[in-house]
Chains A and B, each alone.
Chain A
Amino acid sequence: MAMLEVNNLKTHFRTQDGVVKAVDGVSFSLEAGETMGIVGESGSGKSVTALSIMQLNPKPPAQYPEGEIIFEDQNLLETSDKRMQEIRGNDIAMIFQDPMTSLNPVFTVGNQIREAIRIHQNLSKSEAQEKTVEVLRDVGIANPERRAKEYPHQFSGGMRQRAMIAMGLSCNPKVLIADEPTTALDVTIQAQILELMVELQEKYGTAIVMITHDLGVVSQLADKVMVMYAGRAVEQATTDEVFYDPLMPYSWSLLRSLPRLDTAGEVRLLPIEGTPPSLIFLPEGCNFSPRCPFVKDECHEIDPSLEEKKPAHKAACILSVEEIEENKSRVDEELGVQT
Chain B
Amino acid sequence: MTEKTEVSPETNGHSGEYLLETRNLKMHFPIKAGVLQRTVGHVKAVDGVDLSVRRGETLGLVGESGCGKSTFARLVLRLLEPTEGEVIFDGEDILGYDRKRMLDVRRNMQIVFQDPYASLNPRMTVGNIVSEPLKTHDVGGSSSGERKRRVQELLEVVGLNPEHYNRYPHEFSGGQRQRIGVARAIALNPRLIICDEPVSALDVSIQAQVINLLQDLQKEFDLTYVFIAHDLSVVKHISDRVAVMYLGKIVEIADRAALYGEPRHPYTASLLSAIPVPDPQKERERQRVVLSGDVPSPANPPSGCHFHTRCPRAQDYCTEHEPGLDPQEKEGHRAACFFPVLEGQHIEEPATSTPYRAG
Please report which residues of chain B, range 253-279, place their CB below 8 angstroms from some CB of chain A when the two chains form the complex: 260, 270-272, 274-279
B64 interface residue (CB < 8 Å to A): yes
> Contact between B295 and A186 (Cβ–Cβ < 8 Å)?
yes
> Contact between B279 and A219 (Cβ–Cβ < 8 Å)?
yes
Q: How far is the CB of A217 from chain B (nearest CB, A)?
A: 5
A257 interface residue (CB < 8 Å to B): yes
Q: How far is the CB of B303 from chain A (nearest CB, A)?
A: 19
B230 interface residue (CB < 8 Å to A): yes
> Contact between A220 and B205 (Cβ–Cβ < 8 Å)?
no
> Contact between A188 and B205 (Cβ–Cβ < 8 Å)?
no
> Contact between A254 and B205 (Cβ–Cβ < 8 Å)?
yes
A258 interface residue (CB < 8 Å to B): yes
Partner of A275, one of B64, B206, B288: B206
Please report which residues of chain A, range 132-185, place their CB below 8 angstroms from some CB of chain B when the two chains form the complex: 140, 156-159
> Contact between A260 and B291 (Cβ–Cβ < 8 Å)?
no
A64 interface residue (CB < 8 Å to B): no
Query: Which residues of B sit under 8 angstroms from A216, Cβ to Cβ?
Result: 275-278, 283
Q: How far is the CB of B53 from chain A (nearest CB, A)?
A: 21
Query: Which residues of B sit under 8 angstroms from A194, Cβ to Cβ?
Result: 276
Q: How far is the CA of A191 from the CA of B231 in the complex (A)?
A: 14
Please report which residues of chain B, range 267-303, place their CB below 8 angstroms from some CB of chain A when the two chains form the complex: 270-272, 274-283, 288, 290-292, 294-295
> Contact between B208 and A191 (Cβ–Cβ < 8 Å)?
no
> Contact between B294 and A159 (Cβ–Cβ < 8 Å)?
yes
Among the listed stretches B76-84, B104-112, B132-140, B232-240, which one makes contact with chain A, having 4 or more residues with CB under 8 Å of it?
B232-240
Query: Which residues of A sit under 8 angstroms from B211, Cβ to Cβ?
Result: 259, 269, 271
Given contacts A259-B236, A269-B237, A272-B208, contact A188 B291 (CB under 8 A): yes
> Contact between B233 and A41 (Cβ–Cβ < 8 Å)?
no
B125 interface residue (CB < 8 Å to A): no
How many chain B residues have a CB neighbour from A under 8 Å?
Answer: 43
Query: Which residues of A sit under 8 angstroms from B234, Cβ to Cβ?
Result: 259
> Contact between A42 and B275 (Cβ–Cβ < 8 Å)?
no
Query: Which residues of B sit under 8 angstroms from A292, Cβ to Cβ?
Result: none
Interface of B is mostly: helix
> Contact between A262 and B277 (Cβ–Cβ < 8 Å)?
yes
Give the most central of B260, B274, B276, B294: most A CB within 10 Å.
Answer: B276
> Contact between A269 and B212 (Cβ–Cβ < 8 Å)?
yes
> Contact between B208 and A257 (Cβ–Cβ < 8 Å)?
yes
> Contact between A187 and B275 (Cβ–Cβ < 8 Å)?
yes
Q: How far is the CA of A189 from the CA of B66 in the complex (A)?
A: 14
> Contact between A253 and B205 (Cβ–Cβ < 8 Å)?
yes
The residue on B at minimum CB distance from A261 is B233
> Contact between A239 and B280 (Cβ–Cβ < 8 Å)?
yes
> Contact between A262 and B282 (Cβ–Cβ < 8 Å)?
yes
A243 interface residue (CB < 8 Å to B): yes
Partner of B230, one of A186, A257, A272: A186
> Contact between B279 and A188 (Cβ–Cβ < 8 Å)?
no
The 8 A CB mask of A255-276 against B (1 = contact, 0 = none) is 1011111100000111111010
Q: How far is the CA of A260 from the CA of B212 in the complex (A)?
A: 14
Given contacts A219-B280, A275-B173, contact A261 B260 (CB under 8 A): yes
A215 interface residue (CB < 8 Å to B): yes
B175 interface residue (CB < 8 Å to A): yes
Query: Which residues of B sit under 8 angstroms from A158, Cβ to Cβ?
Result: 294
Give the most central of B211, B212, B237, B272: most A CB within 10 Å.
Answer: B237
Partner of B276, one of A140, A220, A273, A275: A220
Given contacts A187-B275, A188-B270, A216-B278, contact A261 B232 (CB under 8 A): yes
The residue on A at minimum CB distance from B64 is A186
The residue on B at minimum CB distance from A40 is B203
Please report which residues of chain B, range 23-57, place their CB below 8 angstroms from some CB of chain A when the two chains form the complex: none
Q: How far is the CB of A152 from chain B (nearest CB, A)?
A: 15
B65 interface residue (CB < 8 Å to A): yes
Partner of A213, one of B204, B236, B310: B204
Q: How far is the CB of A200 from chain B (nearest CB, A)?
A: 15
> Contact between B278 and A219 (Cβ–Cβ < 8 Å)?
yes
Query: Which residues of A sit under 8 angstroms from B232, Cβ to Cβ?
Result: 187, 261
> Contact between A215 and B208 (Cβ–Cβ < 8 Å)?
no
Q: How far is the CA of A188 from the CA of B294 in the complex (A)?
A: 8
Query: Which residues of A sit under 8 angstroms from B218, Cβ to Cβ?
Result: none
The residue on A at minimum CB distance from B286 is A220
> Contact between A255 and B203 (Cβ–Cβ < 8 Å)?
no
Q: How far is the CB of A188 from chain B (nearest CB, A)?
A: 5
Query: Which residues of A sit under 8 angstroms from B212, Cβ to Cβ?
Result: 268-269, 271
Q: How far is the CA of A268 from the CA of B215 in the complex (A)?
A: 10
Partner of A271, one of B65, B173, B205, B291: B205
B207 interface residue (CB < 8 Å to A): yes
Query: Which residues of A sit under 8 angstroms from B175, Cβ to Cβ?
Result: 275
Partner of B275, one of A41, A253, A254, A261: A261
Q: How far is the CA of A186 from the CA of B271 in the complex (A)?
A: 10
Q: How far is the CB of B214 from chain A (nearest CB, A)?
A: 11
Q: How far is the CA of A186 from the CA of B296 in the complex (A)?
A: 13
A195 interface residue (CB < 8 Å to B): yes
> Contact between B204 and A254 (Cβ–Cβ < 8 Å)?
yes
Partner of A219, one of B233, B271, B277, B295: B277
> Contact between B203 and A42 (Cβ–Cβ < 8 Å)?
yes
The residue on B at minimum CB distance from A142 is B293
Q: How far is the CB of B264 from chain A (nearest CB, A)?
A: 18
Query: Which residues of B sit under 8 angstroms from A254, Cβ to Cβ?
Result: 204-205
Q: How far is the CB of A273 from chain B (nearest CB, A)?
A: 7
A192 interface residue (CB < 8 Å to B): yes
A-B contact pairs, 17 of them (CB 8 A): A159-B294, A186-B64, A188-B64, A188-B290, A191-B288, A191-B291, A194-B276, A216-B276, A258-B204, A258-B233, A259-B208, A259-B237, A260-B233, A262-B279, A269-B208, A271-B208, A272-B209
9 closest A-B pairs by beta carbon, nearest first, are A216-B276, A259-B237, A271-B208, A272-B205, A215-B278, A271-B209, A257-B208, A269-B208, A191-B274
Q: A215-B204, A243-B280, A259-B238 are in contact. List 7 more A-B contacts (CB 8 A).
A: A158-B294, A189-B294, A192-B290, A219-B277, A260-B233, A261-B272, A272-B208
A residues with a Cβ closer than 8 A to B are 41-42, 140, 156-159, 186-192, 194-195, 213-220, 239-240, 243-244, 253-255, 257-262, 268-273, 275
